[in-house]
Amino acid sequence: MGILEFFKKNRKSKTEMVRKEKPSPEQTLFAETALEIISPTVGKYGFERHRTEIEKHSTTIIYRKDKQYIKISSSTYPTDYPYCYNIILGEGDSEDFYEWDWNSIALWRIKNKIDPKTKSSEFDFPYEKSVQYSLENANTELQKYGLTFLNGDLELFIEVRKEQNENREPYKVHSPDKNGKYTSRNEQKSVEQKKKYS
């Protein structure tokens, strides 16, 4: 089934935005498979598709329920090697960079919190026959490790988010002084977000 047939068969929600920028075959296959496997799962918990972007080197699919969201994000940009994808759990504005950057966590961080021996990280970006298997596995992990989040219980999410942000530095702004020497200062908005979400 092609991506256009998928959207015809599965009508988008009233709020969903769709953007496609000549997607590569691998991102098209990834997006189609992610929508087929993960949409029914998150739909059972009240999440609706909010945004779908399929581009040459990336896919972003966001599902929302009230203030919560789940984002599937993949990258095959040449500068991002090794290629990967993530399932991200977040709260608040999924469109505002500062908000989602500080108020979300990757599913693998919750997995590591629940089972520290796993030492998980991003999912490797899958190709061809491995796409179905990889996304089925990711969907299983979402239901296992993200169950409290799916059910609207944010206690574990907040705990893991706090640990993540406590160890992060605010963004730095580098600018030249009157003598041409560069100085660095903390970017104010990220300082505020670090305080808010740590």
Domain ranges of the chain: 3-151
pLDDT of the residue at 17? 57
Q: Identify the pLDDT of residue 9.
A: 47
- Return the pLDDT at 1: 45
Phi-psi region of 194 (alpha: psi -120 to 50; beta: other; left: phi over 0): alpha
Q: Spell out, as residue ranges, where the chain has pLDDT lower than 70.
A: 1-21
Read off the amino acid at residue 57: H
If DSSP codes are grouped into helix, strand and coil, which group holds residue 67?
coil
Exposure string for 116-130, b = 16+ CB within 10 A, e = fewer: eeeebebbebbeeee
Helix (H, G, I), strand (E, B) or coil at 183: strand
| The predicted structure's pLDDT at residue 13 | 55
Say what the pTM is.
0.85
Residues 6+ apart with CB under 8 A from 155: 148
Three-class DSSP category at 63: strand
Identify the pLDDT of residue 14. Answer: 53
* Residue 188: predicted pLDDT: 87
